[in-house]
Amino acid sequence: MKICLIGNQNIFIYNFAKYYIQEHGFEVYLISRNSVNYTAESFGFLKIYYLKSERLVSKICAIRNLIKTIKPDIVHCFYLSRDAIAPCLLYPRKFKYVCSIFGSDIYWETKRNFDCWLKGMILKLCDVITFNSYQMVKDLLKLYPFLPIEKIKPIVWGVDFDLFNKVDRSKIDQKRVELGLSDEIIVLSYRGFKSIYNQDIIFKAIPLVVQKYKQVKFIFILGNTKLSAIRPLLDYVPPEILQNHVILVDRFLGSKELSVFLNISDIVINIPKTDQIAQSLLETLASKAIPILSDLKVYRDLLVDRENALFLNEVNERELADCIAYAIDNYSLLKNTMVPRNNGIIQSKYNFKHQVEKIIQLYS
């Protein structure tokens, strides 16, 4: 099978492409919307075509021409940018067109009439729509009630359970030494820094937590966010607390290193305003950490408050600080009950190898 992916060099495309090639011997190509590698992983195993023009018409023409050159059996688009209309404009279409929707595709920027109309047109013309949340089926159909339900396929992609669960103890000890950690309580956040992710709430909560718990450290993984971009957030934390209780990791982490960070952490905070069943959430559920989450319907597809995660009643710094305090005070109980329960969910239902095969079935 010859597969053409459209998107960026991100962890989703990396995982899919690598699996397709290694496990099935598929021929895989990537039409990349820019040249930035949004992971620490190497894409050297993949044939990549980079889109150079920022003009929409030029990008659409370039995508169409590349598809004609590749002659794929499947075109699979990750994230509905405007240029995702390009595969719909090939006549006759000799490939199946699959669109995977992210939460931002329908929860962000859908109030702009043209973008909303264009996304609806793409979804109407593609052959299969898939995404990471069952709740999004309801939300998608509210937004686009004309879409045929039979081509909407919610599939939670899953994560590599063994990678995020079975981390070598020596690697954990090595990372703790590298970060200068001893026996502190570790609170991790590794979502993005757009306002949608509520990172400001976490920074505002730090002084409230440290006031009560001196042996706590907060780790933030910045990924592609520049340190200069989060300076306003740092102002929420007094300099002494910032120096002694906050660690900023200003780079991308590969999956193996990320799994170590998750498993040295006691608590992981994930409190966006909107979301899908995020990769980061599934990675947390596969690890040894306690999740603290905003109370979103998409999360409730999988999780129950106090059984699988601690949900915030309201997303503000006082509520978050109280929730972190509850997790610290009840850590032994939560670790012995919540963690095995969450590990079981990922291992049995949302292991990547099982879920990706469902995607491949949609290609047939």
Q: What is the pLDDT of residues 147-205, one digit of tens each?
A: 999 999 988 889 999 999 998 899 999 999 999 999 899 999 999 999 999 999 999 99
- Band (pLDDT 50/70/90 cuts) for residue 110 is low
On whether both 217 and 344 belong to a single domain, the answer is yes
- Band (pLDDT 50/70/90 cuts) for residue 134 is confident
On whether both 121 and 204 belong to a single domain, the answer is no
Instruction: For the full predicted model, state whether its pTM sits above 0.85.
Output: yes
> Residue 240 and residue 156: Cα distance in Å, rounded?
42
On whether both 191 and 298 belong to a single domain, the answer is yes
Rounded mean pLDDT, 6-29: 95
Alpha helix stretches (DSSP H) within 25-160: 56-70, 103-107, 113-125, 135-143
Q: How many domains does the chain have?
A: 2
Place of tokens 């899908």: 276
Place of tokens 């370039």: 62
On whether both 341 and 357 belong to a single domain, the answer is no
pLDDT score recorded for residue 107: 77
Q: Domain range spanning residue 272? A: 161-348
Answer yes or no: is pLDDT of 92 > 80. yes
Neighbours of 198 (CB within 10 A): 23
Mean pLDDT, the chain, whole residue set = 93
On whether both 178 and 271 belong to a single domain, the answer is yes
On whether both 68 and 46 belong to a single domain, the answer is yes
On whether both 21 and 120 belong to a single domain, the answer is yes
> Residue 267 and residue 46: Cα distance in Å, rounded?
36
On whether both 215 and 306 belong to a single domain, the answer is yes
pLDDT score recorded for residue 135: 82
On whether both 166 and 112 belong to a single domain, the answer is no
Point out which residues pair with 186 in neighbouring strands: 217
On whether both 114 and 168 belong to a single domain, the answer is no
In this structure, is the dihedral angle defined by the CA atoms of residues 59, 64, 69 and 72, taken in order, positive or negative?
positive
Q: Which residues of 234-264 are buried (b: 16+ CB within 10 A; e: fewer)?
A: eebbeeebbeebbeebeebbebebbbbbbbb
Q: At CB < 8 A and 24+ separation, what contacts does 232-239 make? A: 233/193, 233/199, 233/200, 233/203, 234/203, 236/200, 236/203, 236/204, 236/206, 236/207, 237/203, 237/206, 237/207, 238/207
Judged by average pLDDT, the poorest of 54-68, 98-112, 115-129, 346-360 is 98-112
Q: Which residues have C-beta within 8 Å of that of residue 157, sequence separation ≥ 6? A: 12, 15, 132, 279, 352, 355, 356, 359
Name the percent of the chain in helix, strand, coil, to the closest 5.
50, 20, 30
For 224-245, write each residue's pLDDT tens digit. 899 999 999 999 999 999 999 9
CATH code at position 337: 3.40.50.2000
pLDDT score recorded for residue 326: 97
On whether both 101 and 7 belong to a single domain, the answer is yes
On whether both 146 and 172 belong to a single domain, the answer is no
Nearest partner of 41 among 11, 1, 83, judged by Cα: 11
Sheet hosting strand 267-270, strand order edge to edge: 246-249, 216-221, 185-189, 267-270, 290-294, 310-312
- Band (pLDDT 50/70/90 cuts) for residue 52 is confident
> Residue 65 and residue 85: Cα distance in Å, rounded?
13
For 310-348, write each residue's pLDDT tens digit. 999 999 999 999 999 999 999 999 999 999 999 999 999
